[in-house]
């Protein structure tokens, strides 16, 4: 196509342009929260990134008459394909101007690259780290900034995906908790009753025994992650440790819980303060002066995000997830938080959606994973 060039990113200078392009797309958008450029660079060079260790990957940028117009990450998660007996590729970190010709050129480059590897289907956007960050395209809930590590994009991205032949694979839901109006006292007695009846307790994670705690989390994940979840498999212990290293400077141990029956771990959850309230003021840079802003503004954070909550099968109908959620909201409210968000929950996860709604959560945003057959 005249004036349109596709470039495969091969060096650090290219990675910098890849990262900086987002600032072109969201210029003047008050809802966008700029990521830390240093963290994004670490992700793209593969530092502590289990997704890149799982198979080949590459990045593309599209230029129109020499000016950046789009970007995308694509690759193959060979570990997931092997465990799920399939041959799929993924896409992530898509950004593009509002131009169907540009987006089609970008997607065509991805599809050609994946077909050369023998891939028969592509899904995404997925997390660029195989975690729960930046999963899905925002399709509902454009009325405010996202919470920590959740996706945000212009509404026209949905049309660009659909016009390129992508179809819905799965929707992911976010639930909003208004802690100023939720009456947590009404749940206290039922939670205490359930813990006594089914002989379990819910306690904050103990950083002093972090190695043991990570082993317990691994044990829960191995037992709790359903086989029918197409896009997820239990992470390795090394992947859990890598995620812990990435989040350690953000974590509040009083917002991370493990449920146990005696010494046996039966469930856990991870919530973090909503550092997006701070990041939106840093413009992607923590040094030299961003660090001082970070230290000042972090004290004023007024909300959090509950990332994951897992319970082993035999305890799923014994109010363990409700007890964990109650303890998390209780701790958040004690810290002066006025809101919380539980995200993301797959649309087919009816039990978790029921628990979220039962504790006062309101469906506030929807993120969509798309797919496209390449055969």
Low-confidence ranges of the chain (pLDDT < 50): none
Query: Could you give all domains of the chain from N- to C-terminal order, each with its CATH number?
Result: 4-170 (3.40.630.30), 177-368 (3.40.630.30)
pLDDT at residue number 198: 96
Provide the angle, in degrees to the nearest 10, between the axes of the packed helices 350-358 and 320-334. 40
pLDDT at residue number 249: 77
pLDDT tens column, 146-173: 999 999 999 999 999 999 999 999 999 9
CA 322 – CA 299 distance, rounded (Å): 29
Global pTM reads 0.92
pLDDT at residue number 375: 85
pLDDT at residue number 2: 75
pLDDT at residue number 199: 96
- What dihedral angle (degrees, nearest 10) is formed by the CA atoms of 315, 320, 324, 327? -150
pLDDT at residue number 227: 62
């Amino acid at each position: 196509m005249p004036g349109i060039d596709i470039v495969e990113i091969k060096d650090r200078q290219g990675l910098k342009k890849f990262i900086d392009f987002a600032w072109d797309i969201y210029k003047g958008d008050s809802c966008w929260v700029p990521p830390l450029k240093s963290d994004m660079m670490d992700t793209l060079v593969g530092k502590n990134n289990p997704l890149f260790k799982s198979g080949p990957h590459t990045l593309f940028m599209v230029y129109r008459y020499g000016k950046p117009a789009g970007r995308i990450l694509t690759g193959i998660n060979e570990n997931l394909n092997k465990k799920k007996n399939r041959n799929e590729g993924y896409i992530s970190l898509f950004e593009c101007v509002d131009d169907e010709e540009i987006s089609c050129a970008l997607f065509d480059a991805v599809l050609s690259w994946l077909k050369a590897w023998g891939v028969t289907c592509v899904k995404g956007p997925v997390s660029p780290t195989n975690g729960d960050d930046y999963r899905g395209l925002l399709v509902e809930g454009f009325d405010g900034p996202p919470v920590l590590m959740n996706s945000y994009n212009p509404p026209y991205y949905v049309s660009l995906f659909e016009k390129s032949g992508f179809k819905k694979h799965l929707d992911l839901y976010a639930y909003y908790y208004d802690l100023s109006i939720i009456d947590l006292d009404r749940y206290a007695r039922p939670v205490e009753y359930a813990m006594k009846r089914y002989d379990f307790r819910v306690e904050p994670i103990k950083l002093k025994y972090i190695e043991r705690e990570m082993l317990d989390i691994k044990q829960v994940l191995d037992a709790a992650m359903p086989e029918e979840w197409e896009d997820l498999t239990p992470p390795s212990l090394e992947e859990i440790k890598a995620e812990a290293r990435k989040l350690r400077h953000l974590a509040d141990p009083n917002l991370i819980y493990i449920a146990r029956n005696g010494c046996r771990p039966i469930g856990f959850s991870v919530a973090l303060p909503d550092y997006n309230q701070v990041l939106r003021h840093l413009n992607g840079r923590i040094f030299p002066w961003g660090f001082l802003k970070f230290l000042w503004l972090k004290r004023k954070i007024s909300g959090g995000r509950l990332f994951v909550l897992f319970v082993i099968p035999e305890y799923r109908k014994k109010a363990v997830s409700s007890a964990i959620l109650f303890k998390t909201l209780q701790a958040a409210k004690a810290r002066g938080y006025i809101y919380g968000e539980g995200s993301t929950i797959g649309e087919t996860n009816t039990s978790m959606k029921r628990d979220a709604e039962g504790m006062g959560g309101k469906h506030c945003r929807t993120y969509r994973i798309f797919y496209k057959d390449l055969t």
